[in-house]
């Protein structure tokens, strides 16, 4: 490693880096002291300087300079790192600083080619969704989805996401953490007795945002702590499923 100054305009962002947080940049600008600035950690790879840690500091200095692309940024330059090694270093630095959300940490592990995280991504993508992007098919409730994945290395998660996709393709509300938790509980309770086609027919006719409102309303009117938010969503989904059925599924008791 070696310290040197690099013009801001020559710094590049890699895929493992999180999005810019304006509040963090503004805080650095408000409290800026040149003698307290730590070097930005960068990796020199393929003729470019990729920022591993310190992108908010670099951007703050750039803005304080009046957006001068030639403003010098003090950097700690690493050489000889692969993209995966950079991602792993980024993950380790930010984990030790406790500054990453679960989703950011998970995406960092995927970029670093962590085997379990890659299996998780493959399961999600096999169901028609993506991790780490901002599209109608992206998964944002990564903590919930990860927990479902860890139950059995993906089999249960596949069932949950496949149902969600069949009911609400391209609707981001369909992969809200509450919807996913409710469907997960429904499958655990009725996975061997429900009719897949009927589930899709009845649930696809409902806006998932409306299901969330109904579940939240149910939760607000329940005094018992056994009526958790996932249970209230499960109950709401079950009620929708049972519509027009003669032989209705029997609702499981709360706390199961």
The domain that holds 59 is classified in CATH as 3.90.1530.10
Q: 238, 235, 200: which is closest to 216 by C-alpha?
A: 235
| Residues 87 and 184 occupy one common structural domain | no
81 and 143, same domain (yes or no): no
With a CB cutoff of 8 Å and minimum separation 6, the contacts of 8 are 58, 61, 62, 65, 68, 69, 70, 71, 72, 73
Instruction: Read off the pLDDT band of 102 (50, 70, 90).
Output: confident
* Chain centroid offset of residue 174 CA: 15
The range of the structural domain enclosing residue 201 comes to: 133-242
* Alpha helix (H) residue ranges in the chain: 22-30, 55-64, 83-96, 102-111, 115-126, 142-152, 155-167, 177-190, 196-204, 208-220, 229-242
Question: Is 25 within a domain?
Answer: yes
Length of the chain, in residues: 256
Q: How confident is the model at residue 88 (pLDDT cuts 50, 70, 90)?
A: confident
pLDDT at res. 64: 94
* Strand, helix or coil for residue 72: strand
| Average pLDDT, integer, range 234-256 | 91
* One domain for residues 177 and 85: no
Same-domain pairing of 101 and 46 = yes
Closest C-alpha among 54, 52, 118, 122 to residue 88: 52
Burial annotation 36-47 (CB, 10 A radius, 16+ → b, else e)? ebebbbbbbbee
Mean pLDDT check: name the lowest of 22-36, 48-62, 235-249: 22-36
Domain presence at residue 256: no
Cβ atoms within 10 Å, residue 128: 14
Query: What pLDDT does residue 169 have?
Result: 93
Q: Please, where are the H alpha helices in 31-82?
A: 55-64
* 147 and 201 share one domain: yes
Residue 96: pLDDT band (50, 70, 90) is low
**Is the Cβ–Cβ distance between 42 and 49 less than 8 Å?**
yes
The pTM of this model reads: 0.66
Task: Decide if 41 contacts 92 (C-beta within 8 A).
Answer: no
Residue 125 lies in a domain: no
- Give the orientation angle of helix 102-111 with respect to helix 83-96, to 10 degrees: 150
Q: How far is CA 99 from the centre of its chain?
A: 15
- Position 97 scores a pLDDT of 60
- Give residue 65's pLDDT: 94
Same-domain pairing of 102 and 137:
no
Number of domains in the chain: 2
pLDDT tens digits, 149-188: 998 889 999 999 999 999 999 898 999 999 999 999 999 9
Of 71, 106, 141, the one marking the end of a domain is 106
Same domain, 160 and 225: yes
**Does 255 fall in a domain?**
no
pLDDT at 20: 84
Q: Please state, in angstroms and rounded to a whole number, the distance separating the CA atoms of residues 210 and 237.
A: 11
Give the pLDDT confidence score for residue 99 in this predicted structure: 55
- Indicate the SS3 state at residue 25: helix
């Amino acid at each position: 490693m070696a310290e040197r100054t690099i013009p801001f305009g020559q710094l590049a962002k890699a895929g493992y880096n999180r999005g810019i947080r304006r509040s963090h940049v503004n805080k650095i600008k408000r409290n800026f002291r040149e003698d307290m600035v730590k070097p930005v950690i960068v990796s020199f790879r393929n003729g470019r300087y990729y920022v591993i840690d310190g992108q908010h500091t670099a951007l703050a200095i750039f803005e304080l300079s009046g957006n001068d692309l030639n403003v010098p940024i003090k950097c700690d330059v690493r050489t000889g790192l692969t993209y995966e090694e950079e991602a792993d270093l980024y993950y380790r630095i930010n984990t030790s600083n406790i500054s990453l959300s679960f989703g950011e940490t998970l995406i960092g592990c995927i970029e670093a080619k962590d085997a379990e995280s890659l299996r998780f991504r493959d399961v999600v993508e096999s169901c028609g969704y993506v991790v780490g992007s901002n599209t109608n098919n992206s998964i944002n409730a990564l903590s919930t989805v990860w927990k479902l994945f860890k139950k059995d290395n993906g089999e249960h998660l596949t069932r949950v996401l496949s149902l969600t996709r069949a009911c609400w393709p391209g609707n981001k509300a369909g992969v809200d953490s509450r919807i996913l938790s409710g469907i997960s509980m429904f499958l655990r309770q009725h996975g061997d007795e429900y009719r897949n086609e009927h589930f899709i027919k009845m649930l696809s006719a409902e806006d998932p945002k409306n299901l969330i409102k109904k579940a939240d309303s149910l939760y607000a009117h329940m005094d018992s702590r056994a009526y958790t938010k996932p249970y209230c969503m499960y109950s709401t989904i079950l009620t929708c499923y049972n519509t027009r059925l003669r032989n209705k599924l029997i609702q499981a008791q709360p706390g199961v």
